[in-house]
Amino acid sequence: MSALRITWRKSLNFVMLTLTGVAAFAVVSVLFLILGYLIWNGGASLSWKFFTQLPKPVGETGGGMANAIVGSLKLLFLAAVMGLPVGLLAGVYLAEFGGKTFSFIVRYTTDLLNGVPSIVIGIFAYSLAVLPVKHFSALAGGVALGIMVIPITVRSTEEFLRAVPGNMREAAMALGASRWKTIATVVLPAASGGILTGMLLALARVAGETAPLLFTAFGNRFWSQGWGQPIASLPVMIYTYAVAPYDDWHRQAWAAGLVLLGLVLLSNLGARFILARSKVV
């Protein structure tokens, strides 16, 4: 009886532990499946034309997504210009100046903003930047992505500033440096690797965002005519092409997916590389 029970407990132990391992490897294999499918399907349709040509009119095969690649970069630029400074300075406030109650409120609100579904951010950017002027624009898309960049930058900036040892601050101030001089010349440089990593990760995250662009930046089959006009972006192109009924568009969607995923994963790897190298400080 008791020997049987021990055998039962031991086999249960073995089975369950094995299952946890199977689960972990199953999840990881999804990443390789995704990569494999994209390289297999996208690699075949990827060509020089994809990077240099405009989309062809409906019905014609060929063409590329040059405008969407440039569009995505432009949108990222806008997001960086609008979101990163706010995130950086608010992060400095939380780490270096913040009091108790106000900091708590800011921190909580930041987390809240981080959790807002991207489609809702899209509605917000729409009412801020599209409704008043009555047309879609690259600027509105930049606003949407910029808002999404802020919370991620704030939290990573604060975290890495807090990791700077207190005696570095004290040493600078003992030498007569004022508070902001200490922050600007000692603390920020010491944490710069981490802060940069955070910014890069924030941009990598919004680079793949589609939902907030659908009704802000909209989309464009040609080169954009300026910041105030609709603009194409890779994620929106992937969506439009994937749900369209044309085989040639599907091939292009795979290629665009491969380019986008490559961009996102490489910046993630790059961010980690910067972080690993700057840990020495």
Partner 1 sequence: MSAAATTLAHEVPPQAGPRAFLHRLRQGDQIAHLLTLTFAAVILLLTSMLVYELWINSHLSRTQFGWAFFWTKVWDPNFDNFGAAPFIYGTLVTSAVALLLAVPLGLASAIFLSELAPRKVSDSISFLIDLLAAVPSVIYGLLGIFIVVPLMRTTLGPLLINTVGNVPYIGVLFRGPNYGVGFLTAGIVLAIMVVPFIISVSREVLLTVPREQREAAMALGATRWESTWQVVVPWARTGIMGSVFLALARALGETMAVTMVIGNAAAIKASLLAPGDTIASTIANQFTEATGDLYLSSLIELGLVLFLITFILNGLARILIVATERGGGRPA
Where in 43-102 is the site for partner 1 (CB under 8 A)? 85-86, 89-90, 92-98, 102
4 binds partner 1, rule: CB under 8 A: no
116 binds partner 1, rule: CB under 8 A: yes
The answer to whether the beta carbons of residues 110 and 86 sit under 8 Å apart is: no
12 binds partner 1, rule: CB under 8 A: yes
Q: Is 248 exposed, middle or buried (0-12, 13-18, 19+ CB in 10 A)?
A: middle
With CB under 8 A as the contact rule, the residue among 58, 81, 120, 175 that binds partner 1 is: 120
163 binds partner 1, rule: CB under 8 A: no
Q: Is 60 exposed, middle or buried (0-12, 13-18, 19+ CB in 10 A)?
A: exposed
Smallest distance, Å, CB 243 to partner 1? 6
Site for partner 1, residues 236 to 255, rule: CB under 8 A: 238-239, 242-243, 250, 253-254
200 binds partner 1, rule: CB under 8 A: no
279 binds partner 1, rule: CB under 8 A: no
* Cβ nearer to partner 1, comparing 13 with 61: 13
Smallest distance, Å, CB 46 to partner 1? 15
With CB under 8 A as the contact rule, the residue among 47, 52, 61, 109 that binds partner 1 is: 109
* Cβ nearer to partner 1, comparing 181 with 277: 181
CA–CA gap between residue 27 and residue 34 (Å, rounded)? 11
With CB under 8 A as the contact rule, the residue among 71, 141, 142, 151 that binds partner 1 is: 151
Q: CA–CA distance from 202 to each of 40, 67, 257 (Å)? A: 28, 23, 19
41 binds partner 1, rule: CB under 8 A: yes
Q: CA–CA distance from 116 to each of 7, 88, 121, 135, 187 (Å)? A: 50, 20, 7, 24, 31
The answer to whether the beta carbons of residues 261 and 38 sit under 8 Å apart is: yes
For partner 1 (CB under 8 A), the number of binding residues is 98
Closest to 217 measured CA to CA, from 114, 139, 149: 139
* Cβ nearer to partner 1, comparing 151 with 193: 151
* Cβ nearer to partner 1, comparing 21 with 226: 21
160 binds partner 1, rule: CB under 8 A: no
With CB under 8 A as the contact rule, the residue among 2, 166, 247, 280 that binds partner 1 is: 166
257 binds partner 1, rule: CB under 8 A: yes
Cα angle: 194, vertex 35, 61; to 5 degrees: 115
133 binds partner 1, rule: CB under 8 A: no
Site for partner 1, residues 203 to 232, rule: CB under 8 A: 204-205, 207-211, 214-215, 218
Q: Which two tokens stand for residue 6?
A: 């021990």
Smallest distance, Å, CB 215 to partner 1? 5
Taking the C-alpha atoms of 95, 96, 98 and 103 in order, what is their torsion angle to the nearest 10 degrees? -10
Q: 3-class SS at 149?
A: helix
156 binds partner 1, rule: CB under 8 A: no
Q: Is the dihedral of CA 74, 75, 77, 81 positive or negative?
A: positive
